Amino acid sequence: MIDSVTLRVDDYILYSTEHFTKAKHQELSGKFGVFGVYTTRFTTYAKKCANEGRYYPQVHIMERQTRTKQGMKPKSKYLVIQVSLPKLLFGTNIFDIDERMLPLVYEKLIATLKEIQVEVTLEALKQAVVTRLDYSKILQISASYGSTDKILRALAPYDMKQSSDYNRSHYHDGKDGFYVKYYNSSQGLVIYNKFDEIVANGKTQLEQEIGSMYKRGQWKKGALRIELSLQKKQTVEAIVRKHIKNKRKDYTLSDVHNAKIAKAELLRTYEKVFVTDFSRLVRLSALKDTELTQIIEQYAHGFKERAVLYYLAHEVRKHGLKNTITGLKTEASAATIGRYKKSIESILSKTEAKQDNVNVVNYIHKKLKTFTPILPKKLDALLGEFADSRKNM
């Protein structure tokens, strides 16, 4: 499922600049001086709409000039739209959206842009190139399992590991709720309490109503959101081309808006951080010594392997996963480290299967594998109304 997406639209008509009141200029310099200028024209219309209790996407115009013998000449000019697709349709992103809603997204976006005197055609939106993308999923948390905050606290110890794509991590507990975040310069994975985020940052009338109901305890289930942000066009292309074999770049919204791709990439990223390799050491380190010893003795083969696993679990408990793995790499060969990885995964997978012990990591993992969409109850009626309106055009 997709939440926020950034689109580059090359074909558009700007009838008036009255809403684009701010501009930022950036010079491009090289060995022989300035060779170009980027100008970004902004609108504050989204802020105005937020004050009115409704959602509006971020829109700006990018202009590039390049130096020629005759001076600076225009080279390119295009529209950039950063839009949360669920918020565009529903006024909140507590719901998922699926492929059926894409025609409705296009129509809504065309009408929305007209408010700031910008006209785009359906064909222009269909050809718009995706330059940034957030794959996301809302997970309903059963009240019988525990609170969403409890789940996030349990995930917090899973810090960076040597095989992760991420070189930075962050655990936040503040006025806008709990979240855990793993990121680098091109992508990031964040998991957070969606209701807390709505209470802190909700701007639309619907979000404010949801937040009030949440504070009154009227929501029986929790809402956990997991989000994979692909922050650069090159990153989007590197991820999506694994799933679309006949196209290499310049993906459109219809290319990337695919539940199978979203599920595969969210699962792959989640597993890299929480499930595979040494990440399960965190699970071992959380056990009491008697339980830890019992599990290792039952499933580990040989005294040396049992001793090493017991030692590693205690090191993670004392120093965290990242520091433990860093220390291990200075003491053991790559082959030995690989053997330890397999032992840890084997031990815990057997233990969890036998004891049917649903821990936090497995709980979320199973929900991601199921990937049940969270949709508005009135969605079918909404899509039916849209289909009828198209027939009458």
pLDDT value for 160:
44
Give the Å distances, CA to CA, from 340 to 254, 301, 311. Answer: 43, 11, 12
* Burial class for 161, CB neighbours closer than 10 Å (0-12, 13-18, 19+): buried
Candidates 313, 365, 315; CA nearest to 344 is 313
> Among positive and negative, which fits the CA dihedral 177, 178, 184, 188?
negative
> Which residue spans within 112-200 are E strands per DSSP?
118-119, 129-141, 168-174, 177-183, 187-193
Tokens 């701010």 appear where? 22
pLDDT over threshold 50, residue 321: yes
Average pLDDT over residues 7-20: 95
Candidates 337, 192, 348, 335; CA nearest to 285 is 348
pLDDT value for 325:
77
Q: Are residues 93 and 170 in the same domain?
A: yes
**DSSP character at residue 279:** G
Q: Are residues 98 and 172 in the same domain?
A: yes
Instruction: Give residues with Cβ within 8 angstroms of 263, minimum separation 6.
Output: 137, 368, 371
Amino acid, single-letter form, for residue 312: L
Contact 287, 171 (CB under 8 A): no
Average pLDDT over residues 361-367: 86
Q: Are residues 282 and 183 in the same domain?
A: no
pLDDT value for 162:
37
Helix (H, G, I), strand (E, B) or coil at 228: strand
Q: Are residues 259 and 282 in the same domain?
A: no
- Cα separation, 116 vs 110, whole angstroms: 11
Would you state the structure tokens that stand for residue 311, as one six-digit string?
């030692």
Candidates 296, 298, 291, 280; CA nearest to 349 is 280
Counting the structural domains of the chain, the total is 2
Q: Does residue 338 lie in a domain region?
A: yes
* Burial class for 185, CB neighbours closer than 10 Å (0-12, 13-18, 19+): exposed
Amino acid, single-letter form, for residue 44: T
Condensed to tens digits (0 to 9), the pLDDT of residues 254-295 reads 999 999 999 999 999 988 887 766 666 666 666 677 877 887
pLDDT over threshold 60, residue 382: no
For the chain, the distance separating the N- and C-terminal CA atoms, rounded to the nearest angstrom, is: 29
pLDDT value for 163:
42
**DSSP character at residue 269:** H
Would you state the structure tokens that stand for residue 304, as one six-digit string?
């040396």
Average pLDDT over residues 168-177: 62
Q: Does residue 81 lie in a domain region?
A: yes
Q: Are residues 262 and 312 in the same domain?
A: no
For residue 184, what pLDDT band results from cuts at 50, 70 and 90? Answer: confident
Condensed to tens digits (0 to 9), the pLDDT of residues 326-350 reads 888 888 888 888 887 777 777 766 6
Candidates 265, 266, 264, 240; CA nearest to 254 is 240
Q: Which domain holds residue 351?
A: 276-357
Q: Does residue 364 lie in a domain region?
A: no
pLDDT over threshold 80, residue 13: yes
Share of the chain above pLDDT 90, in %: 40
Q: Is 217 left (phi over 0), alpha (psi -120 to 50) or beta?
A: left
Instruction: Give residues with Cβ within 8 angstroms of 58, minimum separation 6.
Output: 46, 81, 82, 83
Candidates 248, 252, 289, 272; CA nearest to 341 is 272
Q: Are residues 15 and 139 in the same domain?
A: yes
Q: Are residues 289 and 387 in the same domain?
A: no
Q: Are residues 280 and 201 in the same domain?
A: no
Residue 9 sits at the vertex; the CA angle it makes with 3 and 11, to the nearest 5 degrees, is 150
Residue 64 main-chain phi, psi, to 5 deg: -125, 130
Q: Are residues 210 and 128 in the same domain?
A: yes
Q: Are residues 223 and 298 in the same domain?
A: no
Candidates 288, 254, 328, 273; CA nearest to 105 is 254
Candidates 253, 270, 225, 222; CA nearest to 93 is 225
Average pLDDT over residues 181-197: 88
Residue 8 main-chain phi, psi, to 5 deg: -105, 115
Q: Are residues 339 and 194 in the same domain?
A: no
Q: Does residue 298 lie in a domain region?
A: yes
pLDDT value for 273:
80
Give the Å distances, CA to CA, from 381 to 208, 347, 387, 390. Answer: 24, 49, 10, 14
Q: Are residues 236 and 280 in the same domain?
A: no
